[in-house]
Structure 1
Amino acid sequence: MKTFINSLIFTLTLTVVTFGNAFATPYYNNSGDDAPSTLFEHMQTTQLLQVTMEMDIETLIDNKKTNEFFPAKFSFKNSQGMMTDWDIEVRSRGRFRRMTCEFPPLKLKFPKKEMKAEGFGKHNDVKLVTHCMDDKKAVETLFREYLTYQLYAKLTDASFRTQLISITYRDSKTGAETSTYGILIEDADELAERMNKEECENCFGLTASAYNQSNLQIHDLYQYMIGNTDWSLKMARNMKVLNPRTDGGERLVAPYDFDFSGLVNADYAKPNADLQQKDVRDRYYIGADWTADEWTTTIKLFQDKKMELMMTIDQFDMLNNKAKKDMKKYLESFYSELDQGFIPQNYLALNGN
């Protein structure tokens, strides 16, 4: 633990600039009012959000295998230049990463009473994807995962909004500071409300026919495009299922956690043993099956969006050119398959599994 705490005393140089399409445009949904209606929207900006979080880091790390919350102070400067301070609660989250990372991903819980007083509604949970390890490769991995969320948002509105941040962690006991990067991800209930849906906590065992077909096709083909097999429709793993609020509505799916994908290519990612995958960059389609005619509209969407997806990577200046070239080359191999008439068919079903 002492080694880890000592490693916190380092500083990365942070550059605050505007990054074209690589940063999502803030989304406000309060009927024409330009002011944010939720706390997450209050934190959204087309620039890198500057954040400071003070907490007992050693206690948090020592308890990262539990779901116990600990007090923290969260401060940020919004797009209008105003500093906002919050007393929040923080805990570790996730499965694999909380066990693997030196600094686990976090769940931030903001106080509902204070949020209500500020007019920010009821959505008080925000996920924080952290830097995991204290090295340059880990930061590159975080940038790559941030881009996977941005790419998916170019294809569908049923996607989690994200905000890239520069964050300074301050240890409340020692005063030691470290500055690095993170990704804030909106709460699933907030996403569901935007889509006029509600989150389903126990939607297991549903078949493809239970979902909006266009939504599911986009999801399945996107997972194949980025080379991700770390998900399951049957188990609702690494996805949120959004149920209709009224009769006649359609169920949607919204994915998250792309760190095991070939596009992100994290150092800790492991091949999928169930597929006998030899490398995480090997693509396997494990989504639902549709006919060639049924795939036509979705495949055309991906082809029409190719330039925009490539530009999103190109315009993200925080990622080095070598990594951007690698990501675009990986996407090009997917588009080559589409150009050659690739029709997705479930690998496990075809192989009798």
Structure 2
Amino acid sequence: MRRVLMAGIQRTGIAALFMMMTGMLPAQPVAKKTTALFASDSSISIQLSGNIKALLKDRGDSSSYHETRLMYNNDTIVIKAKTRGKFRKDANNCMLPPLLLNLPKDALDKNSLFYKQNKLKLVLPCKQGNYVAREELVYKAYALVAPIAFQTRLVTVLLTDKDIPAKLNAPLTGILIEDDEALAKRFSLMPVEEAKLTPINVAADSYFSMVLFQYMIGNTDWSVEYEHNITLVGKPAQRPYVVPFDFDQCGLVDAPYASPPQELPIQTVHERLYRGICHPEWPVFVQVVQRFLQQEKNIRAVFAESKSVDAAFKKMTSQYLDDFFAQLKQEKTMAAIFASNCNAEQRRLIKDFPH
């Protein structure tokens, strides 16, 4: 069950701002030990069988659960599955919709890979191509620079149903993503649901990590105010953390259907557009930039060392990241992109930033 946790989150405070300017950021949430499913980055193979045709066809606003069998190695688990999402759920956009898998948590054996799993998101290919594997790497990269991030596992999925087209009976690349409730529980937090939040109402570290990362990957398909492609988790009387998901519309993934909203001043997703604000807690942004620079080598390694993508994508990604990190290392470029509408004090922090 989702909780509304808004009381007190609008407080900034001189003391808190002083702490941030002196590098004394509040303690970050600590994750509990991860479950077996997400303890490894290696790909696994699963099979879904049942009336898959009916499941995939049920793409309305109020899709229903369908009984499905999930098979992994020698284990067979009877689960419920339904379609989810918005853009990728629409049959006019994608050949396959994302799914929500509902597992019988209490019935699973302790030795099962899916032990302690309740709900899991499953991303399936929207179009032909290896774009799902690319998107999974983006999730891995985000976990390097953010206080809270979704856990993922790359999977090969076989859909078994004689009534679906032959091309869907072939092995498919997918992503298993932990559910919002599981994410919150892992950090001893709770899901937050609140309409019309502004960037000032969310934890500054998670906000700046998110907006800078979205800029890095060339993604504009998100909104804090409308809770679009983000999840909020937190505690009562504290500003919640913002956690992004669904990166298929970003320039780094380069999906054939990806395009920026018409109202934005860019023509393609390959063009970067910074959508962050001149936040009152601007010193945190400077510290987040430092974190990105410290993690540059590791971010690049996520893509360069992956066995799930080809050499052409690795080369394209390397060049795309070259441009981003070059911008972070140039004072004038940073000021023009990230602080063009900021006040003199905020711009000074960029000027004094040790490049």
TM-score (norm 2): 0.78
Residue 297 in 1 paired to residue 287 in 2? yes
Tell me how far apart the structure 2 counterparts of residues 310 and 269 of structure 1 sit (CA, whole Å).
23
Task: Say if 1:145 and 1:264, in contact at 8 Å, map to a contact too.
Answer: yes
Show the counterpart of 1:257: 246
Q: 1:72 aligns with which of 57, 65, 68?
A: 68
Letter of the 2:318 counterpart = K
- Name the aligned partner's letter for residue 32 of structure 2: N
1:295-334 deviations in whole A, cap 9, x for unaligned?
3211111111111111111110221100111112111111
The residue identity in structure 2 corresponding to 1:62 is: K
1:29 and 2:32 aligned: yes
Q: For the Cα contact (< 8 Å) 1:57–1:172, is it kept in 2?
A: no
Counterparts of residues 210-249 of structure 1 (less than 5 Å): 210-244=201-235, 246-247=236-237, 249=238
Where 1:275 maps in the other structure, the secondary structure is coil
Q: How far is 1:250 from its partner?
A: 3.9
CA deviation string 1:203-235 (max 9, x = no partner):
222222322211211111111111111001111
- State the distance in 2 between where 1:223 and 1:279 align: 15
1:1-353 alignment runs, 5 A limit:
29=32, 41-42=36-37, 44-65=39-60, 66-77=62-73, 83-99=74-90, 100-115=93-108, 124-133=118-127, 135=128, 137=129, 140-171=130-161, 177-201=169-193, 203-244=194-235, 246-247=236-237, 249-290=238-279, 293-341=283-331, 342-343=334-335, 344-345=337-338
Q: Give the share of equivalent positions with the same residue, in percent.
A: 27
The structural deviation recorded for 1:188 is 0.6
- Which ranges of structure 2 fall in alignment gaps of 5 or more residues? 1-29, 344-355
Q: Which amino acid is the alignment partner of residue 160 of structure 2?
A: R
Question: Does the 8 Å contact 2:41/2:154 carry over to 1?
Answer: no
**Alignment gaps of 5+ in structure 1:** 1-26, 31-35, 78-82
- Separation (CA, whole Å) in 2 of partners of 1:28 and 1:42: 15
The alpha-carbon deviation at position 254 of structure 1 amounts to 0.5
1:286/1:348 contact within 8 Å kept = no
What code does the residue aligned with 1:321 have?
Answer: A
Question: Contact 2:37 / 2:153 at 8 angstroms: preserved in 1?
Answer: no
Counterpart residue identity of residue 300, structure 1: Q
Equivalent-residue separation in structure 1 for 2:67 and 2:145 (angstroms): 38
Q: Is the 8 A contact 1:130 1:182 kept in 2?
A: yes
Distance 1:229 1:106 in 2: 23
Given that 2:121 and 2:177 are in contact with CA atoms closer than 8 Å, whether structure 1 keeps it comes out as yes
